[in-house]
Structure 1
Amino acid sequence: MRAAVLANAGIRNLSVVDLPDPEPGPGEVLVRVRAVTLNYRDLLTVEGGYGSRQRTENLIPVSDGAGEVVATGGGVTRFATGDRVVANFFQRWQAGEPDEVGLHSGLGGLIDGMACELRVLPENGLCHTPAHLTDAEAAALPCAGLTAWSAVFDQGRIKPGDQLLTQGSGGVSVFALQFAKLAGAEVIATSSSDAKLQRLRELGANHLINYADTPEWARPAREISGGRGLDLVVEVGGARTLEQSVKAVRLGGAVMLVGVLSGANHDFRLPLVVTRKIRLEGVTCGSYEQFQAMLRAVEHNGLKPALDDRRFQLDELAAALEHLRAGAHFGKVVIEI
C-alpha cells in the first residue's frame, strides 16, 4: 500500500512510500481509506508540536479518515466487507470521562493515522458512515465535528434560543455553527473575510462580524445580545481572542476552549472570569459513545459538512498542510486517496 510517512519532525520530512499491505487480526477490520481531512492538530503533529505526546519517527499522520471495509478478522460482528465506515478519533476512549490511555489513543499522534491506502483498526474504533454522506464528508467528522459537538452540546449545553459566537471558518467553527442551528440557537459568526462571512450566512449564521474591521468584537456581540452577553463562545483563536471571548459572554456564561490558532500564552486578567462567574472549559474531542450520538444526529438531520473547494491527492499532503496553514480554506481540507 501507499502511505504518507513522517520520517522526523518537519513538513519537509513527509513523503509517500510503499509499505506491506496490513492484515486484520482477531477483532480487527481492514479499511480501504478513500478520503482524509485535515485539522490544525495534523499540522502541529507533523512539525513535532506535541513533544512527548506524539511520535515523530516513521509516523503515518492525519487523524480523520473514511472508506470501506475490505476484510475482517475473527470475531468481528458489527462490520462486513463493503460497509462504509469512518474512524473514531480516540481509539481507546469508549465512554464517560477519559483516562490517560484514552487520551493517548488519538490517531496520527502516538499511533499511526489515516493517511494511507489501507488501515487496520479495532472493531470498536469504527462507526458506520451516514448513508447520505460521501467518504470525504464523513472524513470531516471525527475530530472537528466531534469537538464542535462536545463544545456545543455535551459541554456547552446549548438550548433553543441561546446565543452563541463562533470564530472564523475552519472545521470546528463551521461545525459549531451548524450544530448550534440544529439546536435552535442564534449564532454570531466572525471572520476577517467578508466573502467567508457570506458563506457562513448561507450556513445559517444570524449575525456577522468582521474582526479585522472590528478587533474589539466583544462590544458589537454584546450589543446584538441586547447588552446581556452571550451564552457561549466557541474559542479557537487562543491568546489574541480569549479576552474578547470572556468579555462577550454573559454573567455565568461559558467559553469553550478548543484551539490556540493565534498563540498559546496569554497574560490573562482572571478577575474578568472570577467576578462574572464565567465557565472556561477545555474541549478535547470526545468519546466513541459521543461520536455515535453525533453521527445519529448528522444522519437524522441530513447535515452536510462544509468542505473546502480545493482538493488534494495523497502525494500532495505537504501542499495541503501548507494550504491549511495559510488559512485560505473554508471548512475541511480534503485529501482523496
Structure 2
Amino acid sequence: MKAWQRQGPGLDNIKRVELPVPTVGPGQVLVKVKAVSLNYRDKAVADGIYLPHLMTEPFIPVSDAAGEVVAIGDNVTKFKAGDRVISHMFIKWLDGAPNQDYGPSALGGPKDGGLAEYLLLEEDATVKAPDYMTYEEAASLPIAALTVWFSLVEYGNIKAGDTVLVLGTGGVSVSAVQIAAALGARVIATSSSNAKAEKIKSLGATDVINYVENPDWEKKVLELTNGEGVQHILEVVGGDNVNKSLEAVALQGNIYIIGFLKDMMAEVNLFTLLAKRVRVQGINVGHRKALEDVVKAFQQLKIQPVIDKVYPFEDALKAYEHLNQGAFGKIVIQVN
C-alpha cells in the first residue's frame, strides 16, 4: 500500500513509502482509508514537540481517519465489510477515566495512523460514521468534535442559555461554535479577520471580537455579558492567554485547556482563579463512548462539519503547510 511515514522530526522527514497491507487479527478490522483530517496534534507530532519520548520511528502519522471496512478478524461482531467507520485516537481509552497506557496507545504517533491506503483498527476503538456525511466530513470528527463535546458536555454539563467563548477559527473552534449553538448556548467568538467573523456568525456565533482591533478582548467579553463573564471557555491558545481567559470567565465558570498554540507554559494569576472559583480542566480529546455520543448528536442535530480545503494524497505535505498557516475549519486529505 502507499503510505506516508514519519522517519524523524520535521516535515522533511515525512516520506512517501510502500508498505505491506496490514494483516487483520482477532478483534480487529481492516479499513480502506478514504480521508483523513489534520489537527494541531499532527503538526506537533511532525515538529517533534508532542511527547517526543513516546515517538519511535518509523510510524504512519495522522490520528483522524474515515473509511470502509474491507475485512474483519475473528470474534468481531460490531462491524462487517462495507461499513463506513471513523477511528478513535486512544485505542485503549474506551470509557471512564483513562489508564496510564492511554497515551502510548494513540493512533498517528506512536501507533500507525491513517495517512495510508489501509489502516488496522481495534474493533473496540472504531465507531460507525454518520450516514449523512461524506468521508471527508466524517474524518473531521474524531478529535475536533470529540474534544469540544468532552469539554462542554462531559465536563461542563452545558445548559441552554449558557454563554460559551470560542477562541479563533481553527478546526476545534469552528466545531465548538456549531456544537454550542446547536445545544442552545450563546456563543462569543474571537477572530483576527472580519471576513472570518462573518463566516463564524453564519455558523451560530452571536458576537465576534476581532482580537487584532481589540487586543484586550477579555474586556470586550465582559462588556458583552454585562460584567458577568462567560460560563465556558475553550482555551486553545495557551501561554499568557490563559490569564485573559481567567478575566473573561464568570464566577465558578469553566476553562477547558485544549491547546498550546502560543506556548506550553503559563504564569497564571492565582488570585483571579481563587476569587472566581474557576474550574480549570485539562482536555486531551476523550474516550470512545463519548465519540459514539458525538456521532449520535451530529446525526440528530444534522451539524455539517466545515472543511477549509481538501488535498489529494500526494499533496499531504502541502496540507500540513496549510495547517501551519492557519485554517477556517478542517484541513482534509483524500486517500482513496
- Scaled by the length of structure 2, the TM-score of the pair is 0.97
Correspondences of 1:46-61 after superposition (within 5 Å) = 46-61=46-61
What is the CA distance between 1:52 and its match in structure 2? 4.1
CA-to-aligned-CA distance 1:136-155 (integer Å, 9 cap, x gap): 11100111110011111111
The one-letter amino acid paired with 2:78 is: R
What is the CA distance between 1:53 and its match in structure 2? 4.6
In structure 2, distance between residues paired with 1:156 and 1:196: 27
Mapped contact 1:48–1:54 kept (Cα < 8 A)? no
Aligned length: 335
Mapped contact 2:239–2:263 kept (Cα < 8 A)? yes
Counterpart position of 1:44: 44
In structure 2, distance between residues paired with 1:50 and 1:231: 30
Counterpart position of 2:319: 320
Mapped contact 1:22–1:120 kept (Cα < 8 A)? yes
What is the CA distance between 1:176 and its match in structure 2? 1.1
Mapped contact 1:16–1:314 kept (Cα < 8 A)? no
What is the CA distance between 1:165 and its match in structure 2? 0.4
CA-to-aligned-CA distance 1:76-130 (integer Å, 9 cap, x gap): 1111111111011211101001111123222112211110000111111111111
Does 2:144 align with 1:138? no
What is the CA distance between 1:169 and its match in structure 2? 0.7
In structure 2, distance between residues paired with 1:18 and 1:189: 43
In structure 1, distance between residues paired with 2:14 and 2:178: 34
Counterpart position of 1:259: 259
Correspondences of 1:218-297 after superposition (within 5 Å) = 218-297=218-297
What is the CA distance between 1:188 and its match in structure 2? 0.2
CA-to-aligned-CA distance 1:51-74 (integer Å, 9 cap, x gap): 445324111000000010111111
Counterpart position of 1:332: 330
Range with greater deviation from structure 2 (47-56 or 135-144): 47-56
Unaligned runs of 5+ in 2: none
Task: Provide the identity percentage.
Answer: 40
In structure 1, distance between residues paired with 2:166 and 2:240: 15
Unaligned runs of 5+ in 1: none
Counterpart position of 1:178: 178
Range with greater deviation from structure 2 (313-322 or 274-283): 313-322
Mapped contact 1:45–1:54 kept (Cα < 8 A)? no
Mapped contact 2:240–2:267 kept (Cα < 8 A)? no
3-state SS, counterpart of residue 58 of structure 1:
coil
| RMSD of aligned residue pairs (Cα, Å) | 1.1
Mapped contact 1:38–1:62 kept (Cα < 8 A)? yes
- Scaled by the length of structure 1, the TM-score of the pair is 0.97
Mapped contact 1:53–1:104 kept (Cα < 8 A)? no
Mapped contact 1:30–1:70 kept (Cα < 8 A)? yes
